[in-house]
């Protein structure tokens, strides 16, 4: 059937996945693997890496017309702003190392943010060859293992016969994983070993987004395999997770070691700070199983989130 003359051309939108973002520039990958530079329609810039979107061709580029409902959304919020990190992640890999010494406060914040977003956390401790710092760090992670978190040892850039990479890869297969970590933990070393073409891809993305050949400061989605089942998302820089989007009252439920105890408190609305008959306080070591440091982190975060509500 031929089109009527002068009938408007109906361009249907196509589906795609946001695989890189740099400010308002987004790179969208189509189902057949093509990559198209896209802009959000209007002033809204709310599509992020991992989002499934509808887009319409516009010249050589595309316009994003819709964002599909998200399975998950990882974000951090401090007193100044909310920053969305990635959408539709299954897992967040929190990368720590024997050195630099990790902050258990940052770790706790990342775990809370992951649980709040319904994204499974995976803790990785790198630089197993650096001793005795590695054993000290492994020991500091004991409360996290005890509460059921998975902690994997790794030696991604050192010279040990067992680098732990195979075990890590088995946790990444078939999932979309956001990797976060402080500077110097070995994040780039890991990304380059998992995705040998990462640097070449980054350069291609910089060219496509027009951000300059050496710009690597964009969030990037890398497929782990030809079949495009598993992926890692690398995001530049490290920022502590601001948790201001979380109600202080919800905090205990997002910290598994504390959540396991709250059923025993005398008052149903116990905040586990100074109420009598508090099962959380009663469980503090050495009498009980709860690490005093974890309770201290809980209290500090509770105060911070309460202040944020009061001033927000």
Q: Which residues are annotated as a binding site for GTP?
A: 126-129, 181-189
Pick out residues in 265-284 that bind Zn ion (CB under 5 A).
Answer: 265, 270, 272, 278, 280
Task: Pick one of 92, 125, 156, 251: the residue that binds ligand GTP (CB under 6 A).
Answer: 156
Q: Under the criterion CB under 6 A, does residue 64 sit at the interface with ligand GTP?
A: no
Q: Under the criterion CB under 5 A, does residue 255 sit at the interface with Zn ion?
A: no
Task: Pick one of 67, 105, 157, 248: the residue that binds ligand GTP (CB under 6 A).
Answer: 157
Distance CA 177, CA 190 (A): 13
Distance CA 312, CA 302 (A): 15
The answer to whether 26 and 20 are in contact (CB under 8 A) is: yes
Q: Is the peptide bond before 100 cis (omega within 30 degrees of 0)?
A: yes
Task: Pick one of 122, 125, 172, 185: the residue that binds ligand GTP (CB under 6 A).
Answer: 185
- Residue ranges for the known binding site are 126-129, 181-189, 265, 270, 272, 278
What is the DSSP secondary-structure string of the chain? -PPPTTPPP-PPPEEEEEEEEETTEEEEEETTS-EEEEEESTT-----TT-EEEEEEETTEEEEEEEPPPS-EEEEE-SS-EEEEEES-SEEEEEEESSSPPPHHHHHHHHHHHHHTT-EEEEEEE-TTSTTHHHHHHHHTHHHHHTT--EEE--TTS--S--SHHHHHHHHTTSEEEEEE-TTSSHHHHHHHH-TTHHHHHHHHHHHHTS-TT---SEEEEESSTT---EEEE-SS-----BTTS-GGGGGGGSHHHHTTGGG-SSTT--SSS-TT-HHHHTBTTTSSB-HHHHHHHHHHHHHHHHHHHH-
121 binds, among Zn ion, ligand GTP, none (CB under 5 to 8 A by kind): none
Task: Pick one of 143, 181, 230, 242: the residue that binds ligand GTP (CB under 6 A).
Answer: 181
Task: Pick one of 45, 189, 211, 215: the residue that binds ligand GTP (CB under 6 A).
Answer: 189
Minimum Å gap between C-beta 100 and ligand GTP is 9
232 binds, among ligand GTP, Zn ion, none (CB under 5 to 8 A by kind): none
75 binds, among ligand GTP, Zn ion, none (CB under 5 to 8 A by kind): none
Pick out residues in 271-310 that bind ligand GTP (CB under 6 A).
Answer: none
62 binds, among ligand GTP, Zn ion, none (CB under 5 to 8 A by kind): none
185 binds, among ligand GTP, Zn ion, none (CB under 5 to 8 A by kind): ligand GTP
Q: Under the criterion CB under 6 A, does residue 178 sit at the interface with ligand GTP?
A: no
Distance CA 98, CA 183 (A): 13
Q: Under the criterion CB under 6 A, does residue 75 sit at the interface with ligand GTP?
A: no
Q: Under the criterion CB under 5 A, does residue 305 sit at the interface with Zn ion?
A: no
List the x/- string, 119-148, binding to ligand GTP by CB under 6 A.
-------xx-xx------------------
For ligand GTP, the binding residues (CB under 6 A) are 126-127, 129-130, 155-158, 181, 183-189
Q: Which chain residues interact with Zn ion by CB under 5 A?
A: 265, 270, 272, 278, 280
């Amino acid at each position: 059937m031929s089109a009527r003359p002068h009938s408007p051309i109906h361009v249907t939108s196509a589906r795609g996945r946001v695989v890189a973002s740099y400010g308002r520039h987004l790179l969208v990958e189509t189902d057949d693997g093509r990559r198209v530079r896209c802009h959000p329609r209007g002033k809204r810039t709310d599509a992020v890496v991992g989002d499934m979107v509808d887009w319409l061709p516009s010249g050589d580029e595309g316009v994003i017309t819709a964002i599909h409902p998200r399975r998950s959304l990882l974000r951090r919020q401090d007193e100044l702003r909310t920053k969305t990190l990635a959408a539709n992640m299954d897992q967040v890999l929190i990368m720590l190392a024997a050195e630099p010494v990790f902050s258990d406060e940052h770790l706790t914040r990342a775990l809370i943010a992951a649980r709040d977003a319904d994204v499974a956390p995976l803790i990785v401790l790198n630089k197993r060859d650096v001793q005795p710092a590695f054993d000290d760090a492994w020991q500091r992670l004991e409360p996290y293992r005890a509460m059921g978190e998975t902690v994997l040892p790794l030696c991604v850039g050192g010279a040990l016969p067992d680098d732990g990479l195979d075990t890590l890869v088995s946790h990444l297969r078939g999932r979309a994983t956001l990797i976060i970590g402080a500077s110097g933990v070995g994040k780039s070393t890991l990304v380059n070993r998992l995705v040998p073409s990462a640097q070449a891809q980054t350069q291609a993305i910089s060219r496509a987004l027009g951000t300059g050949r050496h710009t690597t400061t964009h969030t990037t989605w890398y497929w782990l395999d030809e079949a495009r089942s598993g992926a890692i998302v690398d995001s530049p820089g490290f920022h502590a997770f601001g948790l201001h989007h979380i109600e202080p009252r919800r905090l205990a439920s997002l910290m598994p070691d504390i959540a396991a105890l709250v059923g025993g408190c005398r008052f149903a609305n116990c905040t586990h700070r100074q109420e009598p008959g508090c099962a959380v306080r009663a469980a503090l070591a050495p009498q009980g199983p709860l690490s005093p440091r974890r309770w201290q982190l809980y209290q500090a975060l509770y105060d911070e989130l309460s202040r944020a509500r009061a001033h927000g």
